[in-house]
Amino acid sequence: MHLLLLRLYFIALVSFGVIPLHTLAQSTPESVIQEELQPIEDKPLAPSSVAQVDIPNDLWERIRRGFGMPDLQVELVQDREQWYAQRPDYIHRMTERSSKYLFHIVEELERRGMPTELALLPFIESAFNPQAVSSAKASGMWQFMPRTGKDFDLKQNAFRDDRRDVLASTRAALDYLQKLHGMFGDWHLALAAYNWGEGNIKRSLNRNQQQGASLAYTDLRMPAETRLYVPKLQAMKNVVANPQALGVNLPSIPNHPYFQSVPLPKDMDVALIARLAEVPLEDFKALNPSAHRPVLLAGGTSQILLPWDNAEIFQRNIDTYAGRLASWTVWVAPQNMKVSDAAKRHSMAEEEFRNINKIPPRMVIKAGSALLVPRSAKQQSDVSAKVADNGQLNLTPETSLRKQTIKARKNESMQSLAKRYKVNVEQLAQWNNLSASSALRPGQRLTIMVPAKSKKNKATASSSQRKKAHQ
């Protein structure tokens, strides 16, 4: 190449008369001229030094490649392997449920540089059921307890429970597992703490340390459930690693996203969202399990999950939809109320009101509670973000009431009288057919309703009086 450039340089000099042509001929060897005139041969390109990316088609293979935890080799692992191997229907059901969520979990684990075995943990926690609720009130596919959920910013209010939310609960679970691993420096201990609590693991480690015993997971004292917890995960890891060796038929899961996030533009009925997205209602609820009410409030739920191909369908349909988006809104109770009174105020049957707001029998609604009620045709505004994101349903046990007559003092108002007897001023006005601003005369008799003493309380009071009489 450098010879060609030299040749072109000399030709240019000749063209401008700088060098005579005969001089160029004399100064350029024939061999050079012949070499320059040789035709360029097509030569094969050298192999690229860039490594070809081998992307697995199957998600199980991707998980296998990311295994990063030391294997646990104890008898309980073999026991759990056989348990799974003998239940092909159970494996199939779990895999079917997991196929909606696994890709997202694996993506998050890889992004954080965490072992991909952890993607299998919901198999152990909930069989990948985002609606699962334990007897101890743990909820969701990652089984967060209410307090732990709050510690990791999982909202739990009258309208949604983020412990069931696919994105939020996965984020919180991986945050928690990273924290535990940083605390104990060992994945087996971290998993045991996830199941039993970090405080319990710390105490068990301290006890072994004081006794000069091993601090390994296998040598700690712990409940049977926690003792079996890590072997269960190891057994599931072994099933995924080599299903043929255990005689397990592991259904394939494609290595591509199942869902995508779509903004929720307005308050919308859950059934309508599913219809506009052309998704079966149960499938929509499986992707949005925190939607345990018939309406989603945009002020608290900014996005929804839809199957990948249905997201565009939803957007296209909602752009042309001219009907009503939400049949429900939120009403905040101004005072303590009976359920029947609250239902009557909104022209609802008491049973329907109880069912829609999940109110058990023999309970009273406390002031400030946020409740779903029918949305009027004239109402256009959505529920405020403050209520949608923080609304709570607070109930108190229903108590029997009895009438008590009281007298107003000099210069006493309805407000001061209500405060003296610790009742709501609106209730006091209602009991006496007055308004909250009514003027009172000194000595005026009014009626208040106070809790009736139970037979047990009466018996206790009588016993106490007898004891005092004998002292």
Nearest to residue 160, comparing CAs of 350, 340, 393? 393
Nearest to residue 392, comparing CAs of 369, 415, 414, 413? 369
Helix axes 187-196 and 224-241, enclosed angle (nearest 10): 130
Nearest to residue 433, comparing CAs of 418, 443, 423, 446? 446
Structure tokens at 105: 């979990």
Which candidate in 81, 117, 125, 198 is catalytic?
Answer: 125
Structure tokens at 69: 């935890």
Helix axes 224-241 and 75-85, enclosed angle (nearest 10): 60
Distance between CA atoms of 148 and 194, rounded to whole angstroms? 10
| Annotation marks residue 125 as catalytic | yes
Distance between CA atoms of 273 and 329, rounded to whole angstroms? 16
Phi, psi of 46 (to 5 degrees): -70, 150
Who's near 290: CB < 8 A, 6+ residues apart? 160, 161, 162, 163, 164, 165, 168, 301
List the catalytic residues.
Answer: 125
